Amino acid sequence: MQVINNTFTHQVQGGGFWRFLKFDSGTSGGIRSDGKALGAGCGTVKSDAFIPDILFGIDLTPVCMQHDQDYSTCGFDRELADANFYDSILTECQSQGGGEFTCKVISAIYFVSVSIMGGDAYNEGQLESCKSGD
């Protein structure tokens, strides 16, 4: 009898339906599994454990880091940062094999959330970066 492990299943199926069951905040036991400090990737030090870095099997870590850096660059326009965020998620999602509908859903979820809740984060990022003379 052949024993089929999860890795083998993914190699055969290429993720497929199971992608919908992949959520991961990138944290475990209060630390990040990639060896970085809490708040790297998606979410902040307070929300890192609740905001998925992987949603529906799509790794959003670099896109979240990009958005974080845009907010923290003195003079970077907030609407442009959020629009880039939406476009980048869409592009990365498609390059990782996500379907069109899935990618639009993921982009919309993150775009709406930063549009509604990102105001204070943007103001704080701008304050700190402009203060440090960027």
Residues 46-75 that bind other proteins (CB under 8 A): 46-47, 50-52, 54, 57-59, 61-62, 65-66, 68-70, 72-73
CA pair distance 60, 54, nearest whole angstrom: 6
Report whether 59 contacts 96 (CB < 8 A).
Answer: yes
- Rounded to a whole number of angstroms, the minimum distance from the CB of residue 100 to other proteins is 15
Contact residue for other proteins among 37, 75, 79, 101 (CB under 8 A): 37
Q: Verify binding: residue 11, other proteins, rule CB under 8 A.
A: yes
CA pair distance 124, 79, nearest whole angstrom: 16
CA pair distance 106, 52, nearest whole angstrom: 11
Q: Verify binding: residue 30, other proteins, rule CB under 8 A.
A: no
Residues 83-122 that bind other proteins (CB under 8 A): 87-88, 91-92, 95-97, 109, 112-113, 116-121
Q: What are phi and psi of 9, to 5 degrees?
A: -60, -40
What single letter denotes the amino acid at residue 105?
A: V
Report whether 41 contacts 64 (CB < 8 A).
Answer: yes
CA pair distance 120, 16, nearest whole angstrom: 38
Binding site residues, other proteins, CB under 8 A: 6-7, 9-11, 15, 18-19, 21-28, 31-40, 43-47, 50-52, 54, 57-59, 61-62, 65-66, 68-70, 72-73, 87-88, 91-92, 95-97, 109, 112-113, 116-121, 124, 128-129, 131-132, 134
